[in-house]
């Protein structure tokens, strides 16, 4: 009887854990799409709420490194009239990995600006703090056109 109880408890724990991870996976995918949408729309409020105070964004080959202050400030300037030639941001092939309270979303973003589109590989790290995921870091790397596989 005791063994059946232990098996039942273990099974129940596994089911609840799997459901929670599935929910967190979906939450992270939605947040990540929200990140792309907020960048395109320069949504200051969304960015300010999503980004951890310690946020760091390492751009292509570390050519630029931004923190929360810089990202929110740039969005605010665009909202106030600064020119921005980004026409679209489309994410694809996203994967989510979760370990404890940390989630990593990686994939590709095609950004249309200027004369054409650039495809970036990204890897973003989210941390669950007080029940809410915050974006802690973002690393993006442009993929040379000749290396793109269609």
Residue 149 has a pLDDT of 66
Mean pLDDT throughout 64-78? 96
Q: What does the domain layout of the chain look like in residue ranges?
A: 2-147
- At 44, the pLDDT band (50, 70, 90 cuts) reads very high
Beta strand 132-142 with 51-58 is parallel
Q: Which CATH class is domain 2-147?
A: alpha beta
Instruction: Report how far Cα 148 is from the mean position of its chain's Cα atoms.
Output: 22
State pTM to two decimals: 0.83
What is the per-residue pLDDT across 114-132, written as a single tens digit (0 to 9) for each? 888 999 999 999 999 999 9
What is the per-residue pLDDT across 74-99, written as a single tens digit (0 to 9) for each? 999 999 999 999 999 999 999 999 99
């Amino acid at each position: 009887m005791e063994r059946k109880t232990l098996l039942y408890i273990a099974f129940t724990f596994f089911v609840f854990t799997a459901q929670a991870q599935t929910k967190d996976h979906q939450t992270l995918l939605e947040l990540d799409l929200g990140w792309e949408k907020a960048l395109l729309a320069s949504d200051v409020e969304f960015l300010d709420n999503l980004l951890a105070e310690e946020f760091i964004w390492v751009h292509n080959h570390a050519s630029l490194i931004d923190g929360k202050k810089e990202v929110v400030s740039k969005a605010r300037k665009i909202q106030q009239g600064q020119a921005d030639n980004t026409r679209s941001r489309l994410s694809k092939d996203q994967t989510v990995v979760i370990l404890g309270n940390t989630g990593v979303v990686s994939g590709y973003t095609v950004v249309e600006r200027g004369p054409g589109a650039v495809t970036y590989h990204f890897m973003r790290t989210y941390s669950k703090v007080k029940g809410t995921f915050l974006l802690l870091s973002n690393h993006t790397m442009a993929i040379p056109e000749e290396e793109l596989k269609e």
